[in-house]
Amino acid sequence: MPQPMQTSYRDLSCGDARPEHTGRDVSLAGWVHRRRDLGQLIFLDLRDRYGITQVVIDAAESPEAHAVASTVRSEYTLRVTGSLAARLAGTENPKLATGQVELRAREVEILSPARTTPFPINEPDAEVDEAVRLKYRYLDLRREGLQSRILARSRLVRAIRESHHEAGFVEIETPLLIKSTPEGARDFIVPSRLQPGNVYALPQSPQQMKQLLMVSGFDRYFQIARCMRDEDLRGDRQPEFTQLDLEMSFVSETDVMSWVERMAIEVSRAVVPDRPLQRDPFPVLTYRQAIDRFGTDKPDLRYGLELRDLAEVATGAGFRVFDETVAAGGRIFGFAASGMGVATRRELDDLTRFARRFGAKGLVWLALEEGGTVRSPIAKFLAEGQAEALATAAGAERGDLVLIVAGDDIHAQEVLGRLRVEIAARLSLADPAVLAYVWVHQFPMYGWDEEHGRWDATHNPFSGVIPEDEDLLRTSSGDPFQPSRSDPAGQARALQYDLALNGWELGGGSIRFHRRELLSRSFALMGHSDEAQREKFGGILEAFEYGAPPHGGIALGIDRWAALLTDQTNIREVMAFPKTASGSDLMLDAPSPVDPAQLAELGLMVKPPASADQAGS
Ligand code: ASP
């Protein structure tokens, strides 16, 4: 039986050799991971993706092989032929799967030499400058850390594909050269040579196409889809990223959520079998609950620190700021940080600055000392027993610290949500092994866009509305093009659901409008005139006139998922060839200046950047 990894160059991979292979004559091929030259004996660790095998070259046994081996250096690629032998008792290496055996070389062939690498490949923990790692990405990918994460990502994508095929989903590719599908970001555009002056947009997502596939009757679609969004980059963003994109027909919100949940559990078990799920089935929160309890729509449920509504206890207690906030329609929330009652003035000032950075006017704190006294800058304004009453309402016990923010609805909770994450990090409250998935749904359909004086979709412009809120899709003026902040539309809730994992938004989706007139009404509320609708969404609106099934779907970020499953905080760490924060590919040197002949062919002219003039002066 041939070994699965056998090729013309090798009989086994560098990870295959076991005691049962001893006595066999084999060839191995790989990279020199490490070389130890003891004079007559040279030891080479030969490495490939599958493992490391120790090679011994003895000058007395194989003088020619020894002569070659004495010229090789780290990262040369070699083919070594010899016999596999048991290692001498006491020299086995239990850390290597192949550690019981070694290859006694008869012949060493250099397949290709290597320059000294810009960073060591065989020291997984070596700190290497990020820009150097990106420029020499092919070498960084040889290192254990990145290589194992790319392999984990491949297992993730494979598990996703297998689950979907098993459940009857059809894998369909959608084009990259399309018309703009708005997802709230800027498009990357590609000029058309055949139609000068016209452009394609690269997809921000396959949104319209997957919905059209439902109109076509495919019933269940999925794709590992590339999406491109021209946004300013942040830690967990890249200009191009990968989504698991799916869409299903004749489904309700619960149908899509239960499929995705079952699949996410299957996939997590396949990729990281040792990591426990915090809850199965996943908890489901409404957007309102998520905000009021955790101050965010992507709560990390691995720890408590839940917010409490303190308005009732806080008002009429003697502290004017609280009374005025509530009188103006604002909210007062707080939470108890266990054991932090001993916080120093400096730590508290630091937390106050933190809250201000996220827009809070101030941070009120109450420190419950072990002896029972309450320390607080507002203590002097409060009536007898009020500080204790507030602490109790916040769920605090002796030794705890209560943090309180008063402000506008949602904003006050969001500031506390940030503090909650910060405190949990300082106290190391999150178990890094646990996977805490949580659903959040019933989001508001629209958010008021102050600048343009209109409603904007909070998520996806194709999201449908919760049936009992359908009547709310209108303006107070009666004219959809005369919207105002107090329109009923502001109260409408979308059939939108997001999946969060350990405090990150993993993805989101919705049940869509499948009736033309409702979609059109919703577009109008977002300020799209009939003409603009025809121009931007004419294709899908017309398709809905030919019998569209009720449908919905979701997209989950594969980069984020892979990062979370491999304990990374930056998605660059799970992407083979990512870009820098300014969108550059340092390895291929992109973007780069365009050839004038190409521009001429496209009928384009480039205006020199303003800064170039200044740089010259
Ligand atoms: N197209 C949406 C996105 O990319 C996801 C969806 O609603 O299916 O975020």
Per-residue pLDDT of 98-123, as tens digits, reads 999 999 999 999 999 999 999 999 99
Look-up of token digits 């494979």: 158
Contact 210, 173 (CB under 8 A): no
Ligand 1, atom nearest to 243 Cα: 4
Look-up of token digits 């799920």: 277
Q: What is the pLDDT of residue 181?
A: 65
> Mutate which of 178, 180, 181, 183 to test ligand 1's pocket (most atoms within 8 Å of Cβ)?
183
d(CA 315, CA 321): 9
Q: Is the pLDDT of residue 256 over 80?
A: yes
Q: Is the pLDDT of residue 615 over 50?
A: no
- Report the pLDDT averaged over residues 421-433: 97
- Taking the centre of ligand 1 as the mean of its atom positions, its distance from the CA of residue 276, in whole angstroms, is 28
Maximum C-alpha span of the chain:
97
- Report the pLDDT averaged over residues 286-304: 98
Q: What is the pLDDT of residue 616?
A: 39
d(CA 154, CA 521): 42
d(CA 157, CA 576): 14
- DSSP count for the chain of H helices, then E strands: 17, 22
Contact 304, 508 (CB under 8 A): no
Residue whose Cα lies nearest atom 4 of ligand 1: it is 205
Ligand 1, atom nearest to 206 Cα: 1
Q: Is the pLDDT of residue 172 over 50?
A: yes
Read off the pLDDT of residues 505-536 as tens digits, 9 standing for 90 and up: 999 999 999 999 999 999 999 999 999 999 98
Ligand 1, atom nearest to 496 Cα: 7
Q: Sorting pLDDT into bands at 50, 70 and 90, what band is 180?
A: confident
- Taking the centre of ligand 1 as the mean of its atom positions, its distance from the CA of residue 428, in whole angstroms, is 33
d(CA 156, CA 160): 6
Task: Give percent of the chain above pLDDT 70.
Answer: 97
Residue 591 preceded by cis peptide, ω within 30: yes
In this structure, the dihedral spanned by the alpha carbons of residues 437, 269, 144 and 93, taken in order and rounded to 10 degrees, is 140
> Mutate which of 259, 298, 460, 463 to test ligand 1's pocket (most atoms within 8 Å of Cβ)?
460
> DSSP state, 12?
S
Q: Sorting pLDDT into bands at 50, 70 and 90, what band is 283?
A: very high
Ligand 1, atom nearest to 462 Cα: 7
Look-up of token digits 């394609």: 200
Helices (H), 544-609: 558-565, 596-602
Residue 611 amino acid letter? S
- Taking the centre of ligand 1 as the mean of its atom positions, its distance from the CA of residue 541, in whole angstroms, is 18
b/e map of 188-226 (b: 16 or more CB within 10 Å)?
Answer: beebeeeeeeeebbbbbbbbbbbbbbbbeebbbbbbebb
- Report the pLDDT averaged over residues 137-164: 98
Residue 396 amino acid letter? A
d(CA 137, CA 133): 6
Q: What is the pLDDT of residue 85?
A: 98
Residue whose Cα lies nearest atom 3 of ligand 1: it is 555
Q: Is the pLDDT of residue 2 over 90?
A: no
Contact 569, 145 (CB under 8 A): no
Least confident of 80-89, 203-212, 547-556, 599-608: 599-608
The residues lining ligand 1, judged by C-beta closer than 6 Å to any ligand atom, are 183, 205, 207, 243, 460, 508-510, 553-555
Q: What is the pLDDT of residue 182?
A: 64
- Report the pLDDT averaged over residues 205-223: 97
Q: Is the pLDDT of residue 48 over 80?
A: yes
Ligand 1, atom nearest to 210 Cα: 8
Ligand 1, atom nearest to 508 Cα: 5
Read off the pLDDT of residues 551-574 as tens digits, 9 standing for 90 and up: 999 999 999 999 999 999 999 999
- Report the pLDDT averaged over residues 169-188: 88
d(CA 143, CA 124): 6
Look-up of token digits 């590339």: 226
